[in-house]
Amino acid sequence: MLMSGSDKEAKLYYGPSSFRVLRPGRYVLCAVTGEAIALEELHYWSAARQEAYASCEIATRRLLGLDG
């Protein structure tokens, strides 16, 4: 089965208040859970770690070092 570019994982550069698309795609993976996050649903990331997070709870736990 052929996949279009929009069905692939995107590569992003995470800035402090926005992100820049380096490689087009439809989603990124949560750094903690591995869950796919649609770009239009991406609200939480770390610019310092260059990681995306699926929820504010996951982001908070990661940044506090509680993600195990």
Local confidence pLDDT in tens for the 68 residues of the chain? 444 556 899 999 999 999 999 999 999 999 999 999 999 999 999 999 999 999 999 999 999 998 75
Report pLDDT for 1: 40
pTM of the complete model: 0.85
Report pLDDT for 68: 57
| Closest C-alpha to 9, from 49, 30, 17 | 30
Phi, psi of 57 (to 5 degrees): -65, -45
| Closest C-alpha to 48, from 22, 11, 12, 15 | 15
Residue 48 burial by CB count (10 A; 0-12/13-18/19+): exposed, middle or buried?
exposed
Measure the N-to-C terminal CA separation of the chain; round to a whole number of Å: 37
Report pLDDT for 2: 44
